[in-house]
């Protein structure tokens, strides 16, 4: 019989989540541990294990929750926007701005977590942002604003690869700029790829 996890109080999340992401963003994935997280957060290991079965469960639960916040922000910023080009631009801008505001999350997800471990977790398989992107593509196709036979997964690939590559580049160069400021460097190229020939 599967028992549901107890609901985590917000006051524990506020103390625990930033510490977990900081620990995983600063250390190798295998070097981060519950003991150090407990010490820095001031939350006992017993309390942590009450809500999470392992450090992997703890980390991936946080990643999943935070990426759901990204999806909510995307929906909010896209609401009421009718111009297709602007919808695509907002998709990139909100994503990059979200990771600017959550740099430890960006580093953890795109730099320190081993891809094999991440791929085995449900947070990697989430489709929320991709569902939002697919909705934009379908609307764009109906209006003739993108190439009619473009397959949705190609746009999803461009979105994911661009996000991943820009965060890696930002990290390797010492995080000296805002991710959102890089959008103009690639968005015109993206638009030329998906827009129909004039």
SS (H, E, C) 59-72: HHHHHHHHHHHHHH
* pLDDT at residue 3, rounded to an integer: 64
In a domain, 5, yes or no: no
Q: How many structural domains comprise the chain? A: 1
Averaged pLDDT, 105-124: 84
The answer to whether the beta carbons of residues 55 and 111 sit under 8 Å apart is: no
Predicted confidence at residue 122, as pLDDT, reads 73
pLDDT in tens, 18-49: 999 999 999 999 999 999 999 999 999 999 99
How much is the pLDDT for 119?
Answer: 77
Q: Cα separation of 119 and 122, whole Å?
A: 8
The domain containing residue 96 runs over which residues?
A: 56-194
Task: Kindly give the residue spans of alpha helices, DSSP state H, lying in the chain.
Answer: 10-26, 34-41, 45-51, 55-78, 84-101, 103-107, 115-119, 122-125, 128-143, 152-172, 183-194
Can you give the CATH number for the domain in which 159 is found?
Answer: 1.10.357.10
- Residue matched to tokens 């900081």: 22
The answer to whether residue 100 is domain-embedded is: yes
Residue 15 in any domain: the answer is no
pLDDT in tens, 66-94: 999 999 999 999 999 999 999 999 999 99
Give a yes or no: residue 12 inside a domain. Answer: no
Portion of the chain with pLDDT greater than 90, in percent: 66
pTM for the model stands at: 0.90
Q: In angstroms, rounded to a whole number, what is the distance separating the alpha carbons of residues 55 and 38? A: 11
Q: pLDDT band at residue 155, thresholds of 50, 70 and 90?
A: confident
- Quick one: pLDDT at residue 130? 85
Q: Which of residues 17 and 129 earns the better pLDDT score?
A: 17
Residue 124 lies in a domain: yes
């Amino acid at each position: 019989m599967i028992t549901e996890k107890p609901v985590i109080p917000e006051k524990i999340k506020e103390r625990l989540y930033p510490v977990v992401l900081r620990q995983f963003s600063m250390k190798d994935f295998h070097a981060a541990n519950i003991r150090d997280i407990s010490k820095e957060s001031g939350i006992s290991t017993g309390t942590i294990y009450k809500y999470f079965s392992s450090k992997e469960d703890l980390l991936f639960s946080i990643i999943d929750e935070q990426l759901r916040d990204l999806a909510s922000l995307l929906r909010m910023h896209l609401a009421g926007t009718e111009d297709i080009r602007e919808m695509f631009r907002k998709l990139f801008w909100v994503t990059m701005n979200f990771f600017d505001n959550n740099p430890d999350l960006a580093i953890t997800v795109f730099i320190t977590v081993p891809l094999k471990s991440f791929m085995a977790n449900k947070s990697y398989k989430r489709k929320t942002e991709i569902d939002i992107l697919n909705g934009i593509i379908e609307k764009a196709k109906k209006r003739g604003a993108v190439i009619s036979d473009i397959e949705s997964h190609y746009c999803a690939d461009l979105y994911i690869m661009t996000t991943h590559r820009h965060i890696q580049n930002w990290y390797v160069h010492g995080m000296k700029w805002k991710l959102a400021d890089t959008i103009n460097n690639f968005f015109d190229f993206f638009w030329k790829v998906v827009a129909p020939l004039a």
